[in-house]
């Protein structure tokens, strides 16, 4: 179920690579007037602008319609955007189409991780939600290869065909979700307790056994959490900024912002520019290998993220990503020269230094691999799981909107930055990774294999973070509760089914 709903993440991946291969083709340059600098930045960042709006609206849609139905609404919007892009007759219409598609990405990038985290067992919640990042990686690779193949078409179909094909996974997701259950926690929040219990039993047992002790224990935890939340009369919007919640909300926002400031989408969107600046002869082919590595490295993350945890992944990832970026910047600084040809994307290039060029290529591959097992999946796992149900959709909406606001700023600013400060840009993003390491060390607790209802305990009563690299030991509270139910020590009030 989580793998299928992660098609929403695949749409995100299609968005990211919907420009990366096309911007290097003669067909695109000829039809749209060889956009450079701010003009190309406006086209690329238009998707992120729409995603910002979609992310902010996702909380209302997710709480009102349910996570599932809101995702379906997003897929319809995506198809409209894909149609406008593929039919665009100029830069203005292309930007409008990308903004419309972006609204879908904002909705799905917020609600897919929420839906996944709310249906997942606690022991594999990280694995389940990390499928979102794998789907993003897979979507990037598939769309890139579609665009790479289309680049050999000597007509406008070279860019119109890939943009039209983007609608296919959205249609599949829209239709398939009709057979999916709503989130049990969303059902419970709407007092649909009988449906919530049935969905938990369906998700946790082979025969949908509502009398299973672990099913009843999870049901009891959700019931207690919602009852406790309802005893607090404060507005959910006000609570986002309350003393108790502001630390968690700020943490989720910073995690999402840092996932952009680490430099991943700078590399995703403009890897062609970077390879051309480094003197890589066949940049389109080199990029295709890079995206394949991106997908392959995401596989062990799905398998082991619940074993090595969120905190170590963030810390190790930030250090290594910073190192690769500093190395790329240093090589460009030392071996590069000003570009003798005007009106080119890159004003600083490496000429006749194959060893330096190949090292930059290797560092780029390693950068993507590092992101794929660290900040990539954890930035989607962490925000939904650390926030209580009553404000989860609103908080994730805010953090994802922050991601897209930063995505927009970088998508718009990187082309002119790349032309003006060239290799210095890599030092800048390398420094952001070092800052992210420091913040995570002092602010981000470990949450692996804890129930969503246990997060209050982690944030209010846990030990100081800087005393441990990995955080506290795994809790077995749910198993103890199930044992009490099985032994008759605890009676559960069940709804009439």
pTM of the full structure: 0.81
- CA distance readout (Å), 299 to 263, 273, 302, 373: 22, 28, 5, 8
41 contacts 411 by C-beta, under 8 angstroms: yes
Mean pLDDT of 352-359: 90
pLDDT: which is higher, 377 or 228: 377
- Which of 93-97, 132-136, 377-381, 481-485 is predicted least confidently? 481-485
Q: Report the chain's mean pLDDT, rounded to a whole number.
A: 85
For the stretch 87-112, pLDDT in tens is 999 899 999 999 999 999 999 989 99
How far is it, in rounded angstroms, from Cα 204 to Cα 68? 19
How far is it, in rounded angstroms, from Cα 55 to Cα 394? 9
The 8-class DSSP code of residue 293 comes to H
For the stretch 297-328, pLDDT in tens is 888 877 777 888 888 999 999 999 999 999 99
Which pLDDT score, from 0 to 100, does residue 202 have? 94
Whether 234 has a pLDDT exceeding 70, the answer reads no
DSSP H or E run through 348: strand 348-350
Q: How confident is the model at residue 128 (pLDDT cuts 50, 70, 90)?
A: confident
For the stretch 378-409, pLDDT in tens is 898 888 888 887 788 888 899 989 988 998 88
Which pLDDT score, from 0 to 100, does residue 493 have? 66
Which pLDDT score, from 0 to 100, does residue 495 have? 66
Which pLDDT score, from 0 to 100, does residue 232 have? 65
The 8-class DSSP code of residue 351 comes to -
Which pLDDT score, from 0 to 100, does residue 253 have? 93
How far is it, in rounded angstroms, from Cα 406 to Cα 400? 10
Closest CA to 55 of 400, 405, 391: 400
* Cβ neighbours of 200 (radius 10 Å): 26
Domains, the chain, ordered by start: 2-467 (1.20.1250.20)
CA dihedral 401, 139, 61, 402 (to 10 degrees): 0
Which pLDDT score, from 0 to 100, does residue 236 have? 61
CA dihedral 149, 152, 157, 163 (to 10 degrees): 30
- The structure tokens listed for 297 are 């490295």
Which pLDDT score, from 0 to 100, does residue 474 have? 57
Q: How confident is the model at residue 187 (pLDDT cuts 50, 70, 90)?
A: very high
Residues paired with residue 336 on neighbouring β-strands, in sequence order = 350
Which pLDDT score, from 0 to 100, does residue 235 have? 54
């Amino acid at each position: 179920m989580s793998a299928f709903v992660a098609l929403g993440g695949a749409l995100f991946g299609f968005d990211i690579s919907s420009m990366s291969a096309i911007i290097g083709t003669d067909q695109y340059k000829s039809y749209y007037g060889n956009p450079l600098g701010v003009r190309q930045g406006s086209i690329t960042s238009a998707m992120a602008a729409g995603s910002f709006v979609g992310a902010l609206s996702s909380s209302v849609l997710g709480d009102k319609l349910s996570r599932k139905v809101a995702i379906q609404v997003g897929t319809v919007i995506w198809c409209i955007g894909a149609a406008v892009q593929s039919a665009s007759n100029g830069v203005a219409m292309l930007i409008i189409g990308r903004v419309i598609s972006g609204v879908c990405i904002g909705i799905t990038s917020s609600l897919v991780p929420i839906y996944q985290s709310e249906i997942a067992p606690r022991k594999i919640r990280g694995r389940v939600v990390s499928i979102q990042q794998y789907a993003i990686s897979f979507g990037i690779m598939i769309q890139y290869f579609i665009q790479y193949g289309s680049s050999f078409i000597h007509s406008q179909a070279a860019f119109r065909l890939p943009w039209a094909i983007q609608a296919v996974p959205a249609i599949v997701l829209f239709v398939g979700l009709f057979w999916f259950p709503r989130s049990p926690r969303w059902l419970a929040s709407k007092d649909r307790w009988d449906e919530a219990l049935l969905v938990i039993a369906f998700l946790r047992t082979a025969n949908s056994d509502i009398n299973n002790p672990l099913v009843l224990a999870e049901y009891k935890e959700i019931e207690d959490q919602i009852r406790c939340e309802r005893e607090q009369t404060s507005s959910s919007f006000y609570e986002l900024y309350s003393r108790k919640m502001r630390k968690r909300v700020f943490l989720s926002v910073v995690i999402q912002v840092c996932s952009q400031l680490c430099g991943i989408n700078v590399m995703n969107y403009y890897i062609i520019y970077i390879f051309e600046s480094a003197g890589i002869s066949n940049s389109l082919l080199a990029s295709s290998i890079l995206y394949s590595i991106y997908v392959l490295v995401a596989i062990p993350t799905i398998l082991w993220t619940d074993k090595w945890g969120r905190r170590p992944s963030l810390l190790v990832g930030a250090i290594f990503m910073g190192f690769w970026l500093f190395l790329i910047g240093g090589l460009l600084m030392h071996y590069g020269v000003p570009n003798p040809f005007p009106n080119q994307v890159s004003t600083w290039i490496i000429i006749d230094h194959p060893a330096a060029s190949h090292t930059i290529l290797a560092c780029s591959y390693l950068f993507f691999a590092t992101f794929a097992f660290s900040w990539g999946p954890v930035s989607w796992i962490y925000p939904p799981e650390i926030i209580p149900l009553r404000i989860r959709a609103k908080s994730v909406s805010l953090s994802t909107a922050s991601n897209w606001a930063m995505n927009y700023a970088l998508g718009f600013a990187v082309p002119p930055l790349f032309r003006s400060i060239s290799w210095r840009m890599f030092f800048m993003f390398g420094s952001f990774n070092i800052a992210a390491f420091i913040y995570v060390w002092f602010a981000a607790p470990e949450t692996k294999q804890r129930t969503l209802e246990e997060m209050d305990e982690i944030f209010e009563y846990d030990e100081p973070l800087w005393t441990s690299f990995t955080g506290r030991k795994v809790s077995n509270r749910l198993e103890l509760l199930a044992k009490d139910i099985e032994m008759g020590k605890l009676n559960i009030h069940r709804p009439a089914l």
